[in-house]
């Protein structure tokens, strides 16, 4: 019994030392950003950093996107592989800045006829990397500054069909004309609603290569992109993909 206070004191001191030691451990200050990978190739892809797969929840199916995932800022070298294969398809060095997601600009507009007020919000969401082929030169990176309106949809068009001439896209009554490969349009306002007609044609041609319909929601920002080639069949058919930036 004489030794019990000494033992208790020793345990208390040891615990205090452990707490102090833990507090001295370096804090992880790795700067991060957000990266969305859009796959317009005809294969399902995965991408890796230092051997670790980054799209851990799901493979990136043809025409699909990862959504904005956390990524390290600065220069990083990513590797892309076809799903189920260990061979690296290509390596891609990317330099990404830290995204200050707190950056938000809001303004309001008032309808002179109805008196209704629209809240317009502009936010930097992150980066989108468009993978349009099986080599580094068939990719491009864009910083996503996204505009959202409270009472309508906002839409934009990115030409991602590598090797295809300039295209026109119409989403409802929003038109994007003479868009060359790699070009990203600004967001345009489009009334929300069901069965919005989307068409795509080669600039200067009256032949409609794609006709699709989609429901657009208010307060939502959409990026439309394309894959394939005009006249293509199967996986090579010219098709429209869509990514919702405001989620």
Q: Does 6 map to a domain?
A: no
Query: Is the pLDDT reported for residue 198 higher than 70?
Result: yes
Residue 3 lies in a domain: no
- Give me the mean pLDDT over the 147-171 stretch: 96
- The pLDDT assigned to 116 comes to 78
Query: pLDDT over 90 for what percent of the chain?
Result: 73
Residue 7 in domain: no
Q: E-assigned strands of 203-238?
A: 210-216, 221-227
Domain coverage including residue 177: 32-244
Mean pLDDT, rounded, for 61-77: 96
Radius of gyration of the chain (CA): 25
Q: What is the pLDDT of residue 27?
A: 41
> Predicted confidence band at 30 (pLDDT cuts at 50, 70, 90)?
low
In a domain, 20, yes or no: no
Answer whether residue 231 is part of any domain.
yes
Overall number of domains in the chain: 1
Q: Is 138 exposed, middle or buried (0-12, 13-18, 19+ CB in 10 A)?
A: middle
Is 217 inside any structural domain?
yes
Alpha helices (runs of H) in 4-55, residue ranges in sequence order: 4-23
Q: pLDDT by residue (tens digit) across 87-135? A: 999 999 999 998 765 567 888 877 666 767 888 899 999 999 999 999 9
The rounded distance, in Å, linking the Cα atoms of 26 and 204 is: 60
21, part of any domain? no
Name the residue among 164, 230, 220 with its Cα closest to residue 196: 220
The owner of tokens 């990026």 is: 223
CA distances from 123 to 42, 73, 220 (A): 31, 19, 13
- What residues contact 100, with CB distance under 8 A and at least 6 apart? 124
Q: Which two tokens stand for residue 193?
A: 């609603």
pTM of the model: 0.85
129 occurs within a structural domain: yes
pLDDT reading at 207 higher than 70: yes
């Amino acid at each position: 019994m004489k030794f019990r206070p000494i033992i208790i004191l020793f345990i208390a001191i040891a615990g205090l030392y452990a707490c102090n030691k833990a507090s001295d451990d370096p804090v992880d200050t790795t700067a991060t950003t957000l990266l969305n990978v859009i796959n317009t190739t005809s294969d399902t892809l995965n991408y890796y950093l230092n051997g670790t797969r980054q799209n851990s929840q799901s493979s990136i199916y043809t025409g699909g996107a990862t959504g904005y995932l956390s990524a390290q800022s600065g220069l990083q070298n990513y590797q892309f592989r076809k799903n189920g294969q260990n061979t690296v398809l290509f390596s891609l060095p990317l330099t990404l800045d830290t995204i200050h997601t707190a950056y938000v600009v809001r303004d309001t507009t008032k309808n002179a006829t109805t008196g209704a007020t629209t809240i317009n919000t502009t936010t930097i969401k992150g980066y989108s990397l468009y993978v349009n082929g099986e080599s580094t030169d068939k990719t491009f990176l864009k910083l996503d500054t996204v505009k959202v309106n409270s009472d309508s949809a906002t839409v934009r068009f990115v030409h991602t069909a590598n090797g295809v001439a300039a295209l026109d896209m119409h989403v409802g009554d929003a038109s994007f004309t003479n868009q060359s490969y790699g070009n990203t349009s600004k967001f345009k306002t489009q009334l929300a609603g069901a069965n919005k007609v989307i068409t795509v044609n080669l600039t200067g041609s009256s032949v409609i290569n794609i006709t699709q319909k989609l429901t657009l929601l208010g307060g939502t920002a959409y990026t439309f992109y394309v894959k394939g080639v005009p006249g293509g069949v199967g996986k090579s058919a010219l098709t429209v993909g869509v990514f919702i930036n405001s989620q």
